[in-house]
Structure 1
Amino acid sequence: MVDSASVPIFDGDNHMYETREAFVKFLPDRYKSAIQYVDIGRRTKIMVRNTVSDYIPNPTFDVVARPGAEEDFYRNGNPEGKSRREIFGEPIRAIPAFRAPGPRLEAMNEYGVDRTLMFPTLASLLEERMRDDPEMTHTVIHAFNEWMYETWQFNYEDRIFSTPVITLPIVDRAIEELEWAVARGAKAILIRPAPVPGYRGSRSFALPEFDPFWAKVVEHDVFVAMHGSDSGYARFSAEWQGEQSEMRPFQMEALPMLWALRPAADAVAALACHGVLHRFPQLKVAIVELGGRWLEPLLNDLAYVYKKMPQGFAENPVDALRRNLYICPFWEENYDYLGGLIGKDHVLFGSDWPHPEGLAKPRSYIDDLNALGLPDEEIAGYMGGNLAKLMNIGASIS
């Protein structure tokens, strides 16, 4: 049993809460009206292109659910059928650690977290709501990245690695954004796990059209994180449910919850089937905060299809995924079992702090891994060693 105090933690899934200026401070004047905050009754909402969004109930994040509020829900389920509000409990006022890197380091020190990947929260709504205007999408995303760099940097004291968003509709613009981010210290980038919208419709990011972009990713040895986002699947859900609605992460409806992991399976299937992993065998892609339950069925399905039509693949797709793919699953899942499917060194720990569905104390997860009776070196790998090797940096700050 490993001593929990001795294991370095490189948390693969932390979040910032954006301020009200995040999307608009660097936005060119011609797009100023695209993002607005509006007061409706006693609530403030974000309005994207003149449409009020309920994607996040309180987009100002002035008041939020406490970190780990849903921990019991994810450990033990919801036998009493409580509402989401009942599960969340009393909200808290946002603290500086949610908003800025200096206070965040203090919180990391308090909780014993050495390093972390830092993802945005509200920004995950942007691309889907601008999908019919690629030029606007690139401009708005760049303005947000400028705010992220000014506020958080992309490498803060070699401990907080914030992930600039790279949107892909116009390949040359995506390369330009990647080069801009790398020049400012980015070691990891965030790409939405969804088809890429464009002027002629949507297409897979793994098609040869995007090879110039992936070539630059490999050239710079940048780690690609595909984090849970609004991947546009509400459009398909609406056709089954008979209503048009946007994705709302905190809703409790059976069918959308059942389909919540579909973007992960579909994105990984595209990586495997469209050959980008064969063309770029050094590409490093992780699926973050989309669980791991989709992994085994997908590997089985790919093996089945490959057996029937190997001529449709550049190489065995299961082998390609076990070489290039990493997963940062939900903390309540069995890391050891998933490691057996994809490789022990391809599973990454993520606490999702400070989101309510995450862990209140990230270091507590070592106790969960100890309970599985895992070797010390595997626990150390899951808790940070694997991610440190992936990003070519140390897991510990000492």
Structure 2
Amino acid sequence: MVPTVTSPRQVLEPVRRCHRRRPPRDEVAVSETITDRETGASRPHAVEPSDDRGADLGYRPFDADNHYYEAIDAFTRHLDPRLGSRVFQWATINGRQYPVIGGQVFRGVSNATFDPVSKPGVLADYFRGNPNDDDPVALLRDHEPIRAEYRNSDARLATMDAHGLAAVWMFPTLGMLYEEALKHDPEAVTIMFRAFNRWLVEDWGFARENRIYAAPYLTLADVDWACEELDWALAQGARSIVMRAAAPTTASGQVAPGHPSNDRFWARVAEAHVTCVVHAGDAGYTSHGYANDGFTTDFAGVPQPIRMLQLERPIEDFLSSLVCDHLFVRHPNLRIASVENGSKFLGGLFDKLRITARKMEGWWAEDPVETFRRHIWINPFWEDDVDDVIELMGADRVIFGSDWPHIEALPRPLDYLADVAHLDEVTRRKVLLDNVTELNTP
């Protein structure tokens, strides 16, 4: 069986930087009953034991990167069945269910139903340098039935209590992958994500009990649609929106996200004072022959470390284009958060921006790095060195995210406390709580 993989960095070799090992965690100890939305049946919900490692903080952290595993009908519940063959439907092939997107079988995720699914954070040590020399394929074969909190907001709130979290930003898993597969038909892209967003607000809400903040997915494949969808999402209480790090494909070809033709969308975002999150996903990038192209879930076969070196290209291109195209000059209240895209690109990008500014004197009215720092927040990979990111961005622009419950996530969100324990109290609170709270406040 090919293991389930749910984010672009899961196809990469481990970062060879070892960190302190984590203590073992207790097994699930408590059980509640949760009603399954799809079947109406009651089923037991295992509640994790409380994580009291944050008790001395005096506050509960706000996790800026949590995920749900989409319900089977997430893309079809509100989709006109007559459009299934053009947009999205399911197919059973050799006993396994696969999404069919735009009439093509999507194999980017081998287990798109997520039942069973690998455990949260099963690759955590692997991404910290693989000190045990584990075989990632073997780790991923340790499956369990899907947990209620992956698809049920009541169960997720109970899990957040156990994890010691005040609130979370909640993002798609499959939803970050599907635009690329359908980009040849921009209208179909908007139809698919309109249906998806209606499912999202129905199952999760955009501000559930002011603790779970699920972000609707928006695309600039059609700027008129994006404006209408944004207005709808704001009326439903959305505090943030999410898109992938890619120049959208429109009916007339690709257009840079910061192009003036998109200004009416960005003006609405800035006026509403909601944060646009650019989250890792399938950006459609090519390795130009240096490695196999396409999003993949397969850890088996010959390693391709070149893909690790290319991992942060999409977010570097996306964010730098916003600065180069003067988006923040035209919309000075705009806030962008990069989530689960890494941070190693920052130093080199800042050097290149300053060199370019010297070569193109007059293009920017100020240091472009200062523009970048004013408008952009960075959620580094949890295995990145947070001190490096703070030095580059400033303590006010770094946000904590665990990526829970993905396989490359922290097994429990507060595992991150060990990585920020050395920070002074004010800086630590900014990273764990204050910065994302500011971004989440209209």
Aligned to 1:336: 387
Aligned to 2:350: 299
Shift of 1:84: 2.9
Would you say 1:73 and 2:126 are equivalent positions? yes
Report the 3-state secondary structure (helix = DSSP H, G, I; strand = E; otherwise coil) of the residue aligned with 2:119: coil
Once residues 309 and 295 of structure 2 are traced to their aligned partners in structure 1, the CA distance between those partners, rounded to angstroms, is 13
Shift of 1:310: 2.5
Once residues 212 and 331 of structure 1 are traced to their aligned partners in structure 2, the CA distance between those partners, rounded to angstroms, is 35
Once residues 387 and 304 of structure 2 are traced to their aligned partners in structure 1, the CA distance between those partners, rounded to angstroms, is 30
TM-score of the pair, normalised by structure 1:
0.93
Shift of 1:79: 7.1
Q: What count of residue pairs does the alignment treat as equivalent?
A: 386
Once residues 351 and 130 of structure 2 are traced to their aligned partners in structure 1, the CA distance between those partners, rounded to angstroms, is 28
Higher helix share: 1
Report the 3-state secondary structure (helix = DSSP H, G, I; strand = E; otherwise coil) of the residue aligned with 1:191: strand
Once residues 302 and 209 of structure 1 are traced to their aligned partners in structure 2, the CA distance between those partners, rounded to angstroms, is 24
**In the alignment, is the contact (CA less than 8 A) between 1:2 and 1:376 conserved in 2?**
no
Pick the aligned partner of 1:168 from 220, 233, 239: 220
- 1:290-324 deviation line (CA, Å, top 9, x unaligned): 11011111111101111111233354211110100
Aligned alpha-carbon RMSD (Å) = 1.8
Shift of 1:6: 2.8
Shift of 1:117: 0.1
Pick the aligned partner of 1:375 from 407, 424, 429: 424
Would you say 1:248 and 2:300 are equivalent positions? no
Once residues 58 and 121 of structure 2 are traced to their aligned partners in structure 1, the CA distance between those partners, rounded to angstroms, is 23
Aligned to 2:102: 49
Shift of 1:281: 1.6
Aligned to 2:287: 237
- 1:210-232 deviation line (CA, Å, top 9, x unaligned): 11100000111111100001001
The aligned amino acid for 2:115 is D
Would you say 1:115 and 2:167 are equivalent positions? yes
**In the alignment, is the contact (CA less than 8 A) between 1:275 and 1:314 conserved in 2?**
no
- 1:158-180 deviation line (CA, Å, top 9, x unaligned): 00000000111211111000000
The aligned amino acid for 1:167 is T
Once residues 2 and 24 of structure 1 are traced to their aligned partners in structure 2, the CA distance between those partners, rounded to angstroms, is 40
Q: Which moved more, 1:42-51 or 1:330-339?
A: 42-51
Q: Which runs of no fewer than 5 residues in structure 1 stay unpaired?
A: 394-398
Aligned to 2:396: 345
Would you say 1:365 and 2:413 are equivalent positions? no
Once residues 165 and 216 of structure 2 are traced to their aligned partners in structure 1, the CA distance between those partners, rounded to angstroms, is 22
The aligned amino acid for 2:91 is V
Q: Which runs of no fewer than 5 residues in structure 2 stay unpaired?
A: 1-52
**In the alignment, is the contact (CA less than 8 A) between 1:7 and 1:383 conserved in 2?**
no
Once residues 353 and 60 of structure 1 are traced to their aligned partners in structure 2, the CA distance between those partners, rounded to angstroms, is 18
Report the 3-state secondary structure (helix = DSSP H, G, I; strand = E; otherwise coil) of the residue aligned with 2:112: coil
Report the 3-state secondary structure (helix = DSSP H, G, I; strand = E; otherwise coil) of the residue aligned with 2:84: helix
Aligned to 1:272: 323
Aligned to 2:199: 147
Q: Which moved more, 1:132-141 or 1:310-319?
A: 310-319
Aligned to 2:274: 222
**In the alignment, is the contact (CA less than 8 A) between 1:69 and 1:89 conserved in 2?**
no
Pick the aligned partner of 2:434 from 375, 385, 389: 385
The aligned amino acid for 1:269 is S
TM-score of the pair, normalised by structure 2:
0.84
